[in-house]
């Protein structure tokens, strides 16, 4: 396994947890969720429920991370639980779908809001259309569309990759600084809007006329939950760098619990001030709810302030993800001959340099293809399948390694992991049902959950080829 130094202290682990979670989701998702639910109470409850469920998963994951504090996180956990085959499938899905796809999409959001201040170049539509590639059931790939945004996105990915390539300490130091600024800015946003006196408490009790009922409400609630899960995703980044954390048996569980509780509180506060100044109907029709809320309080300057906050937030999240997710690719390279190049350390800087470069290259491919929006739609479905399997693994390891010391035991065992597993199963089933229903109704060109499964299963022939070699 890796010989990386344990150089990440408790402040760095907290910054990685919070920085990996709080990105663009809290600014981009509430408007869509408001249109799905049509109720201020349900909107707030979604963020709390999703946060609590995520915390239950993190508590389950913390027991395993404290037992096996090794670089690679869940890849290593799945090896212990289910064997090399399942671990490889996870590593492949992480690389092909939710790690690099997540890095690309977060960096793209940052570039979008940089465009608020700087006009980025565009190519004529005739040139863009001439390079269009159509794949049935998947959609159109437009490599030259929004080329200015894509170039800035690629530049951001490469710069952050270079920083983390040169030094874990540089990356961790940047993460601590960005996370601190992010939290301060968000608290100022909450305080400025909440105490502005320009809202109305009646907005908390006014439901939309289009609020769904019955089975439609359940489907809408789970769709909104998926949006909140996207905003909470990234909490497990700390397990990827467990082999580089000081006193991991203590610092990893503490950072997960404290970091997630802070994120739940911040998300609840931000959504509360959104509702305070915007009726649910207005939120639902908003193209960018954070900007609309700030503009109502501070005028046109509010939009510029929110754009800066989104840029700051997404740079921090992109850095946390690039730092952490490369460790999964690195560990997979250490274990599999097909990816052996990715498993080599950069000896001069003591970092997983090749894995960082490989992740960056694949992220660039996704950025150019324009397919990462589709990948982020399927990201939550695929990643939550593995989260559920990780929680199930707690029971397997309790039996398989009954005598092994457990520096941290999940609180509320066995109830906490059972609740998380049951909720995950329900979420996956409802997601598949909703995807199929939307596809049949013509609302989507592809069943995202099925496409996520298909990409994951492409790892099977690679695994058997690796075994043959």
DSSP line for 201-253: GGGGG---TT---THHHHHHHHHHHHHHHHHHTTTTHHHHBGGGBSSHHHHHH
Question: Which of 42-56, 212-226, 228-242, 319-333 is most confident?
Answer: 42-56
85 Cβ contact partners less than 8 Å away, ≥ 6 residues apart: 463
Q: What are phi and psi of 195, to 5 degrees?
A: -105, 15
Q: Give yes or no for a contact between 123 and 148, defined as CB atoms under 8 angstroms apart.
A: no
Whether residue 124 has pLDDT greater than 60: yes
Exposure class string for 369-382: b at 16+ Cβ within 10 A, else e: bbbbebbbbbbbbb
Mean pLDDT value across the chain: 85
Q: Which of 265-269, 350-354, 374-378, 453-457 has the lowest mean pLDDT?
A: 374-378
The pLDDT of 241-250, averaged and rounded, is: 87
Residue 326 or 448, more confident: 326
Domain region containing 201: 10-468
- Tell me how far apart the alpha carbons of residues 242 and 132 are, in angstroms, rounded to a whole number: 42
Q: Which residue shows structure tokens 């908390």?
A: 204
Find the helix packing angle between 289-298 and 248-277, rounded to 10°: 60
Tokens of 132: 């269009």
Report residue 465's pLDDT band, with 50, 70 and 90 as the boundaries. Answer: confident
Q: Give yes or no for a contact between 190 and 23, defined as CB atoms under 8 angstroms apart.
A: no
The pLDDT of 280-288, averaged and rounded, is: 86
Whether residue 231 has pLDDT greater than 70: yes
Tokens of 68: 């096996």
Please report whether residue 173 resides in a domain. yes
Residue 245 pairs in a beta bridge with: 8
Whether residue 265 has pLDDT greater than 80: yes
- Tell me how far apart the alpha carbons of residues 29 and 416 are, in angstroms, rounded to a whole number: 27
Query: How many structural domains is the chain composed of?
Result: 1
Q: Give yes or no for a contact between 233 and 102, defined as CB atoms under 8 angstroms apart.
A: yes
Whether residue 443 has pLDDT greater than 70: no
- Tell me how far apart the alpha carbons of residues 18 and 236 are, in angstroms, rounded to a whole number: 10
pLDDT tens figures, 154-165: 999 999 999 999
User: In the chain, what is the greatest distance between 2 CA atoms, to the nearest angstrom?
Assistant: 68
Question: For the chain, percent helix, then strand, then coil, each to nearest 5?
Answer: 75, 5, 20
**End-to-end CA, the chain:** 21
- What is 75-94 written as a DSSP string? HHHHHHHH-HHHHHHHHHHI
Alpha helices in 83-167 (DSSP H): 84-93, 100-114, 125-130, 147-166
> Residue 1: its pLDDT value, please?
47
Please report whether residue 450 resides in a domain. yes
What SS3 state is found at 357? helix
Quote the Cα angle for 322-323-327, to 5°.
100
- Tell me how far apart the alpha carbons of residues 201 and 275 are, in angstroms, rounded to a whole number: 9
Tokens of 118: 């700087």
What SS3 state is found at 411? coil
The pLDDT of 73-97, averaged and rounded, is: 91
If you ran DSSP here, which 8-state letter would residue 444 be given?
-
> Residue 302: its pLDDT value, please?
83
- Tell me how far apart the alpha carbons of residues 31 and 280 are, in angstroms, rounded to a whole number: 9
Residue 116 or 69, more confident: 69
- Tell me how far apart the alpha carbons of residues 94 and 85 are, in angstroms, rounded to a whole number: 14
pLDDT tens figures, 187-196: 888 999 999 8
Report residue 44's pLDDT band, with 50, 70 and 90 as the boundaries. Answer: very high
Q: Which of 112-121, 156-165, 219-228, 375-384 has the lowest mean pLDDT?
A: 375-384
Whether residue 211 has pLDDT greater than 70: yes
What SS3 state is found at 121? coil
The pLDDT of 149-177, averaged and rounded, is: 88
Surface-to-core class of residue 432, CB atoms within 10 Å of its CB (0-12 exposed, 13-18 middle, 19+ buried): middle
Whether residue 372 has pLDDT greater than 60: no
Q: What is the pTM of this model?
A: 0.84
Whether residue 359 has pLDDT greater than 60: yes
Please report whether residue 3 resides in a domain. no
Q: Which of 155-159, 281-285, 304-308, 417-421 has the lowest mean pLDDT?
A: 304-308
Q: Give yes or no for a contact between 253 and 11, defined as CB atoms under 8 angstroms apart.
A: no
Q: What are phi and psi of 235, to 5 degrees?
A: -65, -25
Whether residue 105 has pLDDT greater than 70: yes
If you ran DSSP here, which 8-state letter would residue 351 be given?
B
Bridging pattern class, strands 139-141 and 133-135: antiparallel
- Tell me how far apart the alpha carbons of residues 414 and 226 are, in angstroms, rounded to a whole number: 25
Whether residue 445 has pLDDT greater than 60: no
- Tell me how far apart the alpha carbons of residues 221 and 214 are, in angstroms, rounded to a whole number: 11
- What is 10-59 written as a DSSP string? HHHHHHHHHHHH-SSHHHHHHHHHHHHH--HHHHHHHHHHHHHHHHHHHH
> Residue 3: its pLDDT value, please?
64
Q: Residue 226: which CATH number?
A: 1.20.1740.10
> Residue 444: its pLDDT value, please?
59
Whether residue 261 has pLDDT greater than 90: yes
């Amino acid at each position: 396994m890796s010989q990386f130094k344990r150089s990440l202290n408790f402040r760095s682990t907290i910054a990685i947890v919070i920085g990996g979670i709080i990105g663009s989701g809290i600014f981009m998702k509430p408007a869509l969720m408001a249109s799905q639910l049509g109720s201020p109470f349900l909107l707030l409850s979604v963020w709390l429920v999703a946060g609590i469920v995520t915390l239950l998963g993190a508590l389950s994951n913390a027991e395993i991370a404290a037992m096996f504090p090794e670089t690679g996180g869940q890849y290593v956990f799945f090896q212990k639980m289910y064997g090399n085959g399942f671990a490889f499938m996870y590593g492949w899905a992480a690389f092909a779908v939710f790690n690099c796809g997540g890095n690309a999409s977060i960096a793209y959001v940052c570039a979008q809001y940089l465009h608020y201040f700087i006009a980025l170049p565009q190519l004529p539509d005739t040139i863009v259309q001439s390079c269009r590639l159509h794949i049935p059931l998947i959609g159109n790939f437009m490599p030259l569309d929004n080329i200015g945004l894509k170039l800035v996105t690629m530049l951001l990915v490469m710069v952050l990759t270079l920083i983390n390539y040169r030094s874990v300490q540089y990356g961790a130091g940047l993460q601590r600084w960005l996370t601190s600024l992010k939290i301060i800015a968000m608290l100022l946003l909450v305080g400025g809007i909440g105490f502005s006196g320009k809202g109305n408490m009646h907005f908390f009790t006014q439901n939309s006329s289009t609020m769904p009922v019955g089975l439609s409400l359940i489907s809408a609630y789970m769709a909104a939950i998926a949006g909140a899960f996207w905003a909470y995703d990234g909490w497990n980044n700390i397990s990827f760098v467990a082999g580089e954390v000081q006193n991991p048996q203590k610092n990893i569980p503490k950072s997960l619990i404290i970091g997630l509780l802070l994120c739940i509180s911040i998300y609840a506060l931000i959504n509360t001030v959104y509702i305070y100044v915007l009726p649910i109907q207005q939120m639902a029709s908003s193209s960018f709810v954070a900007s609309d809320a700030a503009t109502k309080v501070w005028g046109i300057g509010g939009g510029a302030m929110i754009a800066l906050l989104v840029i700051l937030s997404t740079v921090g999240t992109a850095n946390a993800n690039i730092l952490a997710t490369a460790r999964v690719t690195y560990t997979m390279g250490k274990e599999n001959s097909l990816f052996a190049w990715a498993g080599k350390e950069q000896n001069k800087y003591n970092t997983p340099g090749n894995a960082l470069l490989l992740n960056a290259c694949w992220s660039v491919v996704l950025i150019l293809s324009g397919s990462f929006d589709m990948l982020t739609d399927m990201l939550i479905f695929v990643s939550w399948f593995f989260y559920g399997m990780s929680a199930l693994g707690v029971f397997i390891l309790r039996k398989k390694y009954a005598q092994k010391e457990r520096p941290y035991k999940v609180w509320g065992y066995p109830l906490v992991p059972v609740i998380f597993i049951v909720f995950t199963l329900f979420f996956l089933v409802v997601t598949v049902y909703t995807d199929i229903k939307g596809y049949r109704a013509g609302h989507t060109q592809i069943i995202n959950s099925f496409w996520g499964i298909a990409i994951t299963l492409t790892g099977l022939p690679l695994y058997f080829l690796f075994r043959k070699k």
